[in-house]
Amino acid sequence: MSFERMKREAKEKREALRQSKKPLILVGTATCGRSAGALDTLEVFRRELKSRNIDAEIIETGCLGLCYAEPVVGVVKPGQPNIWYRNVSAERARELIEGYLVKGDPLADYALGSTEGSVEGIPHLFDLPMLKPQVRRVLWNCGLIDPTNIDHYIASGGYEALQRAVFEMEPEEVINEVKRSGLRGLGGAGFPAGRKWEACRRAPGDEKYVICNADEGDPGAFQDRSVLEGDPHSVLEGMIIAGYAVGARKGYIYVRAEYPLAVNYLEIAISQARERGFVGENILGSDFSFDLDIFQGAGAFVCGESTALTLSIEGNRGMPKPLPRPRTTEKGLWDKPTLLNNVKTFANIRWIINKGADWFAGVGTERSKGTAIFSLTGKIANCGLIEVPLGITLREIIFDIGGGIPGGKVFKAVQTGGPSGGCLPVSLLDTPVDFDSLTTAGSIMGSGGMVVTDEDTCMVDLARYFLDFTEKESCGQCSLCRLGSSQMLEILRAITEGKGAMEDIDLLIELGEAIKIGSICGLGQTIPNPVLTTIRYFREEYEAHILKKECPARVCRALISYRILPDKCEACMICLRNCPVGAIKGGKKEVHVIDQDKCSRCGVCMSICPERFSAVECIPGQLSEEDLK
């Protein structure tokens, strides 16, 4: 079948779906939706519609990005606008069927927004504060199409860039367009993609490879997973075009086995692409052949490094090759020239080829073109997946898109770039989000994790948390990385336990700088970032832990205390009965007291005390005899 015919038939199917007299239900069943109960919601829709003899079309979609609102469901009644609903539990699904499909009430109180039309009392979906400032390119289809149906992708312009590249452009022209666009690698390093493609193209050798790095292991990061679950063909198309441009005939998608849904959707997408002639021999009838396979990684964070990743595919231990080493574009997989880019980098290629380099570069900054995708998590009102123009400020992301800090709390810091990124304070909220500005501030872009903290976060403990992760993930090859990170972690633990000394702060800085200089890969070179930036911007918290033996944020158990306020205690005995270590004394009509020697600082007493009493308080530091009185 010719591509033109495929495209025509795909668009006809889409139009038939839009013009259908049957209701259309779109249920977001990506991993974030499933964790919120989307599969139960899906089952209720199927069962209830069948029992009511309502003939409706149900489509499972990827993540729309509004993770705080999951499960997200779109409902289209014939002749009516599309309406998207938030937090659609199984019970709410029944209400939507009865209220909207049967009685015609759009249930505006549950609605997020509408598209392709307006409904009184319901805003336009993409006018929502979280969506309006975004520039959705990579996320263009996510949440709006069936990721397991190749016709949905083709109908939205999919594989047009591949056809244009193969039949209308020489490989060098493709590379020049990518170079002119200013696209930088979105896996963390930010190396100019076009220069990397050019280096691989020029590398001598008849056998070359293309690898997609989908080994996303950052705590709190889920952007690569969401793209693979929501629009896998966009990644495949970018890889195939890359293969054509650099002269490769084989590609691998390196994805962690902990992403079973993404792996499943990739398998379906590759099979469909092969069946339609986009993958395999003589693609679209041309002389170009390119095949794709999936390689499932075991979850080692260090395998995100290029040489460790290629060694892992080869069946070796995944650890960075020692210095000096050639670039993977010269000697990569099986010592052959290899082009390795991130999921989001490949997903941008279709836009560059279809729209042109100038169009792509029209968004972003002078040195950071295009958009970036972030997993916005932590103490933030609107947790989710966002795609924003590079150059947007941290303040705009956190307060305009993210909705600010919930519960009336105060913003404290944002950590960008994953576990080895830096923690930036309120004074740097107007920092532009681009590769260079974040590096200057002491952080990194990384692959797109962004964790927001509030006043209840202890920055010393946060640094300890991230260092605990990266120390465990070190391959152990570099002595400075292996031993230095362990020593830094021991010092941080001692500080959070009230056993630190002032000279420990300078020692942490000295160790951190040495690890950055002496490590051979990006993991080791960025391991100290959370520690160095928290010392740089929150030194007073370290000093409070050391000098005052207090945790100002009331997080570190060894440096806090709980006490019962005599004037508020109603002697209800709730805290006494629920204390796991029996540290509370008292009886009926007798004010309770916490035995500080027995108290484990678990906080159960405070969490369980009725709100109308609020008789338990947490204070930084250890209680004195005077305090107890």
Residue 398, pLDDT above cutoff 60 = yes
462-497: pLDDT as tens digits: 999 999 999 998 888 888 999 999 999 999 999 999
Res. 625 pLDDT band, cuts 50 70 90: low
Q: What would the CATH number be for the domain defined by 459-548? A: 1.20.1440.230
pLDDT at 627: 58
Going by DSSP bridges, is the β-strand pair 449-454/371-378 parallel, antiparallel, or unpaired?
parallel
**Rg of the chain, C-alpha, whole Å:** 27
The helix (run of H) or strand (run of E) holding residue 444 is none
Query: Taking the CA of residue 568 as centre, how many other CA atoms within 13 Å lie in the half-sphere pointing to its CB?
Result: 13
The model's pTM is 0.93
Residue 538, pLDDT above cutoff 90 = yes
Domain ranges of the chain: 9-125, 159-361, 371-454, 459-548, 557-628
Question: In sequence order, what are the beta bridge partners of 564?
Answer: 616
Identify whether the C-beta of residue 214 lies closer than 8 Å to the C-beta of residue 340.
no
How open is the CA angle 351-354-358, to the nearest 5 degrees?
75
Of the chain, the percentage scoring pLDDT greater than 90 comes to: 85
Strand blocks (E) in 310-433: 338-342, 371-378, 384-389, 411-416, 423-425
The helix (run of H) or strand (run of E) holding residue 294 is strand 291-297
Q: What is the DSSP letter of 569?
A: -
In this prediction, residues 220-239 reach a mean pLDDT of 95
Rounded to a whole number of angstroms, the distance between the first and last alpha carbons of the chain is 86
Architecture of the domain delimited by 557-628: 2-Layer Sandwich (3.30)
| Among the listed residues 378, 379, 360, 380, the one whose alpha carbon sits nearest the alpha carbon of residue 370 | 360
3-state secondary structure 451-471: EEEECCCCHHHHHHHHHHHHH
Domain 159-361 in CATH 3.40.50.11540? The answer is: yes
List, as one string, the DSSP characters of 474-487: --S-SHIIIIIHHH
pLDDT at 219: 79
Identify whether the C-beta of residue 363 lies closer than 8 Å to the C-beta of residue 370.
yes
In this prediction, residues 153-166 reach a mean pLDDT of 97
Of the chain, the percentage scoring pLDDT greater than 70 comes to: 99
Q: What is the DSSP letter of 617?
A: E
pLDDT at 455: 96
Hey, what amino acid is at 188?
A: G
Res. 629 pLDDT band, cuts 50 70 90: low
Q: What is the DSSP letter of 290?
A: B
The Cα–Cα gap between 434 and 579 comes to: 49
The Cα–Cα gap between 441 and 566 comes to: 47
Res. 218 pLDDT band, cuts 50 70 90: confident
Identify whether the C-beta of residue 603 lies closer than 8 Å to the C-beta of residue 555.
no
Supply 283's token pair.
């693609």
Residue 565, pLDDT above cutoff 90 = yes
pLDDT at 188: 75
How far, CA to CA in Å, does 14 sit from each of 10, 63, 126, 239, 428?
6, 20, 21, 26, 46
Identify whether the C-beta of residue 364 lies closer than 8 Å to the C-beta of residue 390.
yes
Cβ neighbours around 395 below 10 Å, total: 15
Query: Taking the CA of residue 15 as centre, how many other CA atoms within 13 Å lie in the half-sphere pointing to its CB?
Result: 6
Going by DSSP bridges, is the β-strand pair 82-85/73-76 parallel, antiparallel, or unpaired?
antiparallel
Instruction: Find how far residue 411's CA is from the centre of its chain.
Output: 20
The Cα–Cα gap between 5 and 50 comes to: 35
pLDDT at 372: 94
Identify whether the C-beta of residue 481 lies closer than 8 Å to the C-beta of residue 518.
yes
In this prediction, residues 616-624 reach a mean pLDDT of 87
**Placement of tokens 């005939």 in the chain:** 249
138-159: pLDDT as tens digits: 999 999 999 999 999 999 999 9
Note the helical H segments in 554-597: 574-578
Helices and strands per DSSP (H, E), number in the chain: 25, 18
pLDDT at 476: 87
Residue 324, pLDDT above cutoff 90 = no
In this prediction, residues 64-70 reach a mean pLDDT of 96
Going by DSSP bridges, is the β-strand pair 449-454/590-594 parallel, antiparallel, or unpaired?
unpaired
- Looking at the domain 371-454, which fold is it? Ubiquitin-like (UB roll) (3.10.20)
105-147: pLDDT as tens digits: 999 999 999 987 788 889 999 999 999 999 999 999 999 999 9
Going by DSSP bridges, is the β-strand pair 57-61/24-28 parallel, antiparallel, or unpaired?
parallel
Q: What is the signed CA dihedral for 304, 307, 309, 314, rounded to 10 degrees?
A: -170
Mean pLDDT of the chain: 94
The Cα–Cα gap between 318 and 310 comes to: 8
Pick the CATH number of 9-125 from 3.50.50.60, 2.60.120.10, 1.10.645.10, 3.40.30.10: 3.40.30.10
